[in-house]
Amino acid sequence: MGLCGALAIHVVDEAVTDFLAFQNPTVLAWREKFPLLWLPVFTFEVWLSLLIFAVVALTAVSYFVWRGRWAMRPISYAFAGCLFLNGLLHIAISIYMGEFVSGVYSSPLLLAASVALIASTRAFKNLKDRSQHVE
């Protein structure tokens, strides 16, 4: 739930700071340079709708993570890893460009929430493993 909240804040950060003004021209330049690499160009409405849907769906699925379903552990690691990389990319691009890019303000929150999810997933797995050995 914490990483879903951080993602929601990140989406707001990107929406308010006009992320698509940076992303769409970058995607178009990459398409010219690498024709086989297909990346979508979004309108604001479609982009925001897809991200809202993703945040709602991920928040709904987080119940199963909280319950400790076995399949959710690797999915939790993948989700945390992707958002950790997203946060790092925003920070790295900001450093490279010498200015704050869209989404960088909430990137530290993404990093912290990703690490927290990885740590809690590992702790829950270790706790569950220990309880199975006691029985």
Confidence (pLDDT) at 1: 80
Share of the chain above pLDDT 70, in %: 87
Confidence (pLDDT) at 49: 96
Instruction: Name the pLDDT band for 131 (thresholds 50, 70, 90).
Output: low
Confidence (pLDDT) at 61: 84
E strands, 1-135, in order: none
Domain that holds residue 78: 2-134
Confidence (pLDDT) at 79: 92
Quote the number of domains for the chain.
1
Nearest to 44 by CA among 11, 5, 79, 91: 11
SS3 assignment, position 68: coil
pTM over 0.85: no
End-to-end CA distance of the chain: 30
Cα gap 67→75, rounded to integer Å: 14
